[in-house]
């Protein structure tokens, strides 16, 4: 006992103090960001940073095994599981700022402050000036010391832990498993059903018929300039992440009509529209049709016309083509 | 510096985690706050282990980590299941049993 008392220290090294104050500040900031960030992904990243700093503190406190386990298990496995579930549940699902209980947030902050003051006062009450370092306990190696304890004094708890882990793994599988009720339809059956109903027999039209706009979130345009919902992925449609460029397209179509009317000698208006219509690309294939060299432009428009595309405008463009020939 | 400061830090982190559990509504962030509280406890255990000069505190922290891992696995599975049926991860929306 006297030997242990002789080994007792009263202060740590200056390096550890500097490390504590620097990393401790970062850890508290990370914890605050965890509870204050609106998006769950940001919270998870801040929490991962805090956990890594805690691992450094474990190493500084002589818990070498726990420091490594903290990095491997917490930041490596648990936080990745969190991120996985955040991605699964929806990254865009930001927390609502609406309070369901009135004044609950301030009461919670007040409770937290009171609790923290209580804890710190309790710790401060136990004035401790000297302590036993882990030098003696870690003399045979930290992992060896832990193993000796786990497999002798705590062996029963260790075995219970094994049962707990098995239960947790089975429980997670049971909770997330969904039995398929009906048989999955094969590709052949799906195509036969498509033909039988007669809707969307060929593949769905591609998004972005412009050469300038070929991103997947831009819907393709019907011949009358309106957008075709079919061309955009259903997920993007449900999220409302569709960029609509039909306004530009309608303006270009108006310019095209002016040009064709001027070419036919019908109207005296539309002098300045030619410059705007000239940079139109494959979407206004009727420009080529009117000039007499683009027969496939009309065919492309006809492929996208499902129902309402067969209006008089495309018929009009077809008659221009015939006139040009 | 005295290792007691680690206890103060652990108390602070635990308090932040507890306040987060009270403030936030998203179930996933609630779980993260619970993890933060468990980590703060682990830090306190490790600091106690150093203060006392034996390894029992580290053993307890090790068991805490195992239990936290099991808890997270089951809890996140429950969150995913609730999200599937309700399309929401907010704890306010799970109010079916409220009077």
The answer to whether residue A32 sits within a structural domain is: no
Question: Is residue A12 assigned to a domain?
Answer: no
Structural domain boundaries enclosing B65: 27-86
- Residue A197, number of CB atoms within 10 A of its CB: 9
pLDDT tens column, A151-161: 999 999 999 99
Contact between chains at B62 and A66 (C-beta distance less than 8 A):
yes
Residues B46-64 have a mean pLDDT of 92
Please tell me what DSSP assigns to residue A284: G
Nearest CA in chain A to B3: A12
Is-contact A23 A68, C-beta < 8 A? no
Instruction: Tell me what pLDDT residue A213 has.
Output: 64
For A227-261, the DSSP string reads B-GGGS-HHHHHHT-----HHHHHHHHHHHHHHHH
pLDDT at B85: 81
pLDDT digits (tens, 9 = 90+) for A287-316: 333 333 333 334 344 344 343 333 444 444
How far is residue A264's CA from residue B24's CA, in Å, rounded to a whole number? 67
- Kindly identify which residue of chain A lies nearest to residue B26, measuring between CA atoms: A95
- Tokens, residue A15: 């390096």
Find, among A289, A276, A5, the residue nearest to A129 by Cα: A5
| Structural domains of chain B, count | 1
- Contact between A134 and A60 (Cβ < 8 Å): no
Is B16–A28 a contact, with Cβ atoms under 8 angstroms apart? yes
ipTM score over 0.85, yes or no:
yes
**Cβ pairs bridging A and B (under 8 Å):** 240
**Cβ contact B59–A43 (<8 Å):** no
**A233 lies in a domain?**
yes
Worst-scoring range by mean pLDDT, A293-297, A313-317, B17-21, B26-30? Answer: A293-297
* Six token digits for residue A9: 């220290």
Q: Which residues of A touch B65 (CB under 8 A)?
A: 66, 69-70, 73-74
Pick from B28, B39, B74: which is nearest to A172 by CB?
A: B74
Inter-chain CB proximity B49 and A32 less than 8 Å: no
Determine, yes or no, domain membership for B43.
yes
Residue B1 lies in a domain: no
CA–CA separation, A259 and A319 (whole Å): 15
In a domain, A286, yes or no: yes
- Into how many domains does chain A fold? 1
Q: Which residues of chain A have pLDDT under 70?
A: 1-9, 90-97, 208-214, 225, 267-325
With CB atoms and an 8 Å threshold, state whether B3 touches A12: yes
Assess if residue A197 is contained within a domain: no
Considering CB atoms only, which of B7, B11, B25 is closest to A116?
Answer: B11
Give the confidence band of B68 by pLDDT, cuts at 50, 70, 90: very high
Residue B93 domain-assigned (yes or no): no
pLDDT at A323 (0 to 100): 41
Residue B81 in any domain: the answer is yes
Which among A17, A116, A164 is the top mutation candidate for probing chain B, defined by the most B β-carbons within 10 Å of its own β-carbon? A116
- B20 part of a folded domain: no
Q: How far is B42 from chain A (nearest CA, A)?
A: 9
- Please judge whether A82 and B31 are an interchain contact, meaning their C-beta atoms are less than 8 angstroms apart: yes
- Note whether residue A315 is domain-resident: yes
Residue with tokens 């740590």: A12
pLDDT at A210: 58
pTM of the predicted model as reported, rounded to 2 decimal places: 0.69
Q: Is residue A88 part of a domain?
A: no
Residue A146 is predicted with a pLDDT of 92
Q: Which residues of A touch B37 (CB under 8 A)?
A: none
List beta partners, residue B90.
B26
What's the count of helices (H) and strands (E) in chain B, helices before strands? 3, 0
3-state secondary structure of B5: helix
Residue B41 lies in a domain: yes
Rounded average pLDDT over B24-49: 92
User: Is residue B5 situated within a structural domain?
Assistant: no
Domain span including residue A284? 207-325
B18 in a structural domain: no
């Amino acid at each position: 006992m006297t030997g242990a008392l002789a080994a007792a220290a009263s202060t740590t090294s200056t390096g550890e103090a500097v490390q504590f104050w620097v990393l401790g500040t970062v850890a508290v900031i990370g914890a605050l960001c965890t509870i204050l960030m609106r998006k769950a992904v940001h919270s998870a990243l801040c929490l991962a940073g805090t956990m890594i700093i805690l691992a450094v503190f474990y190493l500084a406190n002589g818990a070498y095994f726990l420091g490594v386990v903290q990095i491997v298990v917490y930041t490596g496995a648990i936080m990745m599981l969190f991120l996985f579930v955040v991605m699964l549940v929806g990254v865009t699902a930001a927390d609502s700022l609406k309070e369901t209980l009135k004044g609950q947030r301030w009461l919670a902050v007040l409770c937290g402050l009171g609790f923290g003051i209580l804890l710190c006062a309790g710790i401060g009450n136990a004035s401790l000036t000297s302590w036993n370092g882990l030098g003696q306990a870690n003399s045979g190696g930290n992992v060896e010391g832990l193993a000796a304890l786990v497999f002798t004094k705590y062996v029963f708890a260790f075995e219970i832990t094994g049962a707990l882990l098995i239960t947790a793994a089975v429980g997670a599988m049971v909770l997330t498993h969904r039995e398929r009720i009906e048989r999955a339809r094969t590709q052949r059956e799906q195509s036969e059903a498509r033909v039988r109903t007669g809707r969307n027999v060929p593949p769905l039209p591609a998004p972005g018929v412009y050469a300038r706009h070929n991103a997947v979130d831009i819907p393709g345009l019907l011949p009358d300039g309106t957008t075709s919902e079919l061309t955009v992925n259903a997920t993007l449609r449900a999220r409302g992440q569709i960029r609509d460029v039909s306004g530009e397209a309608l303006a270009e179509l108006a310019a095209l009509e002016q040009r064709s009317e001027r070419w036919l000698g019908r109207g005296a208006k539309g002098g300045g529209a030619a410059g705007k219509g000239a940079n139109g690309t494959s979407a206004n294939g009727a420009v080529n049709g009117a000039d007499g060299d683009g027969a496939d432009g009309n065919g492309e428009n006809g492929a996208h016309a499902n129902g309402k595309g067969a209006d008089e405008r495309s018929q009009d463009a077809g008659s221009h083509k015939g006139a040009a020939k | 510096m005295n290792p007691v400061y680690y206890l103060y830090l652990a108390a602070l982190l635990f308090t932040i985690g507890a306040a987060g559990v009270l403030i936030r509504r998203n179930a996933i962030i609630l779980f993260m706050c619970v993890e933060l509280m468990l980590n703060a406890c682990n830090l306190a255990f490790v600091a106690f282990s150093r203060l006392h000069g034996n390894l029992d505190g580290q053993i307890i922290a090790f068991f805490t980590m195992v239990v936290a891992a099991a808890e997270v696995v089951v809890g996140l599975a429950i969150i995913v299941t609730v999200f599937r049926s309700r399309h929401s991860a907010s704890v306010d929306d799970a109010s079916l049993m409220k009077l």
